[in-house]
């Protein structure tokens, strides 16, 4: 049995990492490259005349906006005053600091364990109010409120929906008492509010979010062979979806949340199937002697992209679910795999190799233009943010697995290493209400 399990694990890793090299857990944000002309914004401390808040909201907002690469914040030590209301603002003071925008906030009330917060965004040069906004939330949701404020400011200034309130899933691997321990985590997009979903002495792989952000699916070897599970983020309740001999891997939720694409070898060769999550009926979509793996849904819910070596090298193909017809999408380079689509369905992030190194690249499916986005080595597992502006991926730094993020124009980059161990296989959540 041990030989069978070891052999199956080796085969599973070969198939899913052949088509993509394998790239505690508390993540640390380090911005390595930002916009050449970032918008300068000042964020004084949020006013609070009630009991001391457990979290410095202004600090969280500053970190969010700086991580985006589009903003440069003015340090508190340089501020001449800490206004919390518009009537207390002297625009001249902020022009002296070259601030383009000023964000004010004030906690108005604390009732029944709930905060009410007013925020105002001011244009310093025009000396006018850009917006005023009010938020309410529990004391335990202060960080969530701060991310919501960041989203509001970011969208107002850039015109792009903010992703600070989204979450990420990822796998960590650490050596403990001579054994490898694998953990599946979910956390805020900045690595905070980390929650452990699963811990195992056996590998965990391929996390993927449900379209409503309430569940996460993944592959676990805890049963002695790869099996696909779905798990509720809040309650941690989970359901095993597959238990076939051979491969059970690469789950991907459909846009409507009713189906899951996955890879099974129960009939011999690794093929793409769909699973009806209500009836639990399986439908086979591919039938080829080559390896077909890594399915991902297109936004229309009528097509999938997948990786296959049916052309001699791993390349990405498009599959029409109704007709089973396939179309090759990638032609540049000798290796293209692990496709992840932007929400517009036009931009495809992928692992790409032209010579000897694996990089993350983006492919415009309309023009065919391919652009390499990273310069690091052993880059893998790209996952696109729900606003289509950034993607996250796994890479190596000082021989440790870390997460990194890059904008789809390659202009903004940051890293998210863990304090210890390796971090692998990021999965960016959809927008969460």
Quick check: 383 and 398 in contact, CB under 8 A? Answer: no
CATH 3.40.50.10070 domain residues, the chain: 36-158
At 5, the pLDDT band (50, 70, 90 cuts) reads very low
Helix (H, G, I), strand (E, B) or coil at 40: strand
**What DSSP letter does each residue of 348-388 carry, written as one string?**
EEEEEESSS-EEEEEEETTT--EEE---SSS-EEEEE-TTS
**What DSSP letter does each residue of 174-220 carry, written as one string?**
EEETTEEEEEEEEEETTS-S-EEEEEESS-EEEEEE-TTSSEEEEEE
Which two structure tokens, joined as six digits, stand for 142?
């202060």
Q: State pLDDT tens for residues 216-236.
A: 999 999 999 999 999 999 999
CATH 2.120.10.30 domain residues, the chain: 2-27+164-428
Q: State pLDDT tens for residues 165-218.
A: 999 999 999 988 889 999 999 999 999 999 999 999 999 999 999 999 999 999
pLDDT of residue 230: 98
Residue 7 has pLDDT above 80, yes or no: no
Residue 155 has pLDDT above 50, yes or no: yes
pLDDT of residue 398: 82
Q: State pLDDT tens for residues 328-356.
A: 999 999 999 999 999 999 999 999 998 87
pLDDT of residue 25: 55
Chain CA centroid to CA 141, Å? 21
CA distances from 282 to 200, 317, 335, 420 (A): 28, 21, 30, 40
Residue 296 has pLDDT above 90, yes or no: yes
**What DSSP letter does each residue of 109-153 carry, written as one string?**
EEETTEEEEEEEEEETTTTEEEEEEEEEEEGGGHHHHHHHHHHHH
What is the average pLDDT score of the chain?
90
Q: What is the mean pLDDT of residues 392-420?
A: 86
pLDDT of residue 411: 84
**Fold for the domain defined by 2-27+164-428:** Neuraminidase (2.120.10)
pLDDT of residue 55: 86
Helix (H, G, I), strand (E, B) or coil at 293: strand
pLDDT of residue 126: 97
Quick check: 41 and 102 in contact, CB under 8 A? Answer: yes
Q: State pLDDT tens for residues 304-332.
A: 999 999 999 999 999 999 999 999 999 99
Q: What is the mean pLDDT of residues 290-306?
A: 96
pLDDT of residue 26: 66
Helix (H, G, I), strand (E, B) or coil at 99: coil
How is the chain split among helix, strand and coil, in percent rounded to 5?
Answer: 15, 45, 40
Residue, of 382 and 12, whose pLDDT is higher: 382
| Cα angle 341, 186, 45; round to 5 | 100
Residue 252 has pLDDT above 90, yes or no: yes
CATH 3.40.50.10070 correct for 36-158: yes
Burial 379-410 (b: 16+ CB within 10 A, else e): bbbbbbbbbbbbbbbbbbeeeebbbbbbbbeb
* Start-to-end Cα distance in the chain: 46
DSSP category for residue 323: T
Residue 14 has pLDDT above 80, yes or no: no
Burial class of residue 192, CB neighbours in 10 A (0-12, 13-18, 19+): middle
Nearest residue to 427 via CA among 170, 199, 242, 210: 170
pLDDT of residue 397: 84
Q: State pLDDT tens for residues 51-83.
A: 666 789 999 999 999 999 899 999 999 999 999
């Amino acid at each position: 049995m041990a030989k069978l399990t070891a052999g199956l694990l080796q085969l599973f890793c070969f198939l899913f990492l052949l088509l993509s090299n394998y790239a505690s857990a508390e993540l640390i944000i380090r911005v390595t490259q930002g916009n050449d002309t970032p918008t300068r914004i000042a964020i004084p401390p949020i006013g609070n005349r009630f009991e001391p808040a457990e979290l410095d909201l202004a600090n969280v907002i500053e970190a969010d906006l700086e991580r985006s690469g589009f903003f440069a914040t003015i340090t508190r030590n340089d501020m001449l005053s800490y206004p919390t209301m518009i009537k207390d603002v002297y625009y001249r003071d902020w022009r002296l600091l070259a601030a383009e925008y000023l964000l004010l906030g004030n906690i108005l009330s604390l009732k029944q364990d709930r905060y009410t917060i007013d925020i105002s965004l001011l244009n310093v040069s025009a000396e006018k109010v850009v917006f005023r906004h009010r938020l309410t939330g529990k004391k335990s949701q202060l960080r969530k409120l701060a991310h919501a404020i960041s989203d509001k400011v970011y969208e107002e200034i850039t015109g792009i929906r903010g992703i600070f309130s989204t979450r990420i899933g990822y796998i960590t691997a650490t050596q403990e008492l001579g054994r490898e321990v694998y953990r599946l985590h979910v956390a805020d997009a900045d690595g905070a509010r980390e929650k452990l979903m699963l811990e195992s002495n056996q590998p965990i792989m391929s996390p993927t979010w449900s379209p409503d952000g309430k569940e996460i699916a993944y592959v676990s070897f805890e049963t002695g062979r790869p099996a696909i599970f779905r798990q509720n983020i809040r309650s941690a309740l989970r359901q095993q979806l597959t238990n076939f001999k051979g491969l059970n891997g690469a789950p991907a939720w459909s846009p409507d949340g009713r189906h899951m694409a996955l890879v099974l070898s129960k009939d011999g060769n690794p093929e793409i199937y769909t699973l009806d999550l209500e009836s639990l009926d399986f439908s086979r979509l591919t039938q080829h002697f080559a390896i077909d793996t890594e399915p991902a849904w297109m936004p229309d819910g009528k097509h999938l992209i997948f990786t296959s070596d049916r052309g001699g090298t791993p390349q990405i193909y498009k599959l029409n679910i109704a007709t089973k017809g396939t179309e090759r999408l990638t032609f540049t380079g000798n290796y293209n795999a692990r496709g992840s689509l932007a929400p517009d369905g036009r931009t495809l992030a992928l692992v790409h190799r032209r010579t000897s190194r694996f990089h993350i690249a983006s492919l415009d499916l309309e023009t065919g233009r391919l652009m390499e986005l990273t310069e690091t080595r052993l880059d893998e597992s790209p996952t696109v943010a729900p606003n289509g502006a950034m993607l996250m991926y796994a890479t190596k730094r000082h021989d440790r697995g870390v997460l990194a993020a890059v904008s789809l124009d390659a202009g903004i980059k940051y890293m998210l290493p863990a304090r210890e161990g390796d971090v692998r296989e990021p999965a960016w959540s959809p927008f969460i209400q």
